[in-house]
Amino acid sequence: MIRKPQVFLLHFAGGNRYSFDFIRPYMEGVEVVPTELPGRGKRVHERLLHDVDEAVDDLCSQVIRHLNAAGFLLYGHSLGAMLALKLADKLERIGQPPVHVLVSGNPGPGIEDHSEKSTLSKEALRKELKTLGRFPAGFFQVDELFDFYEPILRADFALAKGDNCRPVRPLSAPIYAMAGSEEGAARHLDNWKQFTTSCFRSEIFPGDHFFIHEHPQRIATIIKACLI
């Protein structure tokens, strides 16, 4: 059996293992491995995590379990970007380094702190989420739907405290940072440069925080180029 290089995908706050399905049609030649934090998707009956180290340990176990020795990279969006940095640090320290780390929708540690969103009132949280876009109208209109996702989102926002995701030392792996032109992260992408001793590249795409849905083919091309 020919082993394909792998990309491990780390979802955004409120996301799950299906959050990157839009990119799969463009990933020929690459094994796509979506990760998933507890409390949603196929792990809906598991305890939600509010501690970054617990979350990274959980993600590390998922990566190690699926490694095929053909080389791999990590790609995380928004919350997933922060977790990808911390996870890459852990993987390097245990001798299983990624060949590249891709991050998007996040300026990296030290710029923003989204953890305060975990304690917002329900109405304030609704308002904050509406600014991000990409939520179907029914999400805010159907109380049962919002009530289901609310604890998941609060737990994920609690993980998003930037300083908690700083690596022990800069990564050996290169970093490729991406952002939408309409989001604040676009102004601070160079912040990621300090977290690697290898090469750093960045790219700004037309769009908002969820620009990734508008540019799946380009993102897939970047992923495959970073695996060579």
Distance CA 94, CA 114 (A): 29
Domain of residue 53, residue span:
6-113+162-227
Domain count, the chain: 1
In a domain, 125, yes or no: no
Report yes or no: 155 and 49 within 8 Å, Cβ to Cβ: yes
In a domain, 153, yes or no: no
In a domain, 166, yes or no: yes
In a domain, 200, yes or no: yes
Distance CA 224, CA 86 (A): 22
- Give the residue carrying structure tokens 């970073």: 226
Residue 19 phi, psi dihedral angles, 5° rounding: -65, -20
Each residue's pLDDT expressed in tens, for the chain with a length of 228 residues = 789 999 999 999 999 999 999 999 999 999 999 999 999 999 999 999 999 999 999 999 999 999 998 999 999 999 999 999 999 999 999 999 999 999 999 999 988 766 677 878 888 888 877 776 666 666 777 788 888 889 999 999 999 776 778 888 999 999 999 999 999 899 999 999 999 999 999 999 999 999 999 999 999 999 999 997
On the 0-12 / 13-18 / 19+ scale of CB atoms within 10 A, 225 is exposed
Q: Which of 121, 155, 143 is nearest to 48 (CA)?
A: 155
CB count in 10 Å sphere of residue 164 = 18
pTM over 0.75: yes
What's the CATH code of the domain at 193? 3.40.50.1820
In a domain, 147, yes or no: no
In a domain, 180, yes or no: yes
In a domain, 49, yes or no: yes
In a domain, 132, yes or no: no
Distance CA 110, CA 112 (A): 6
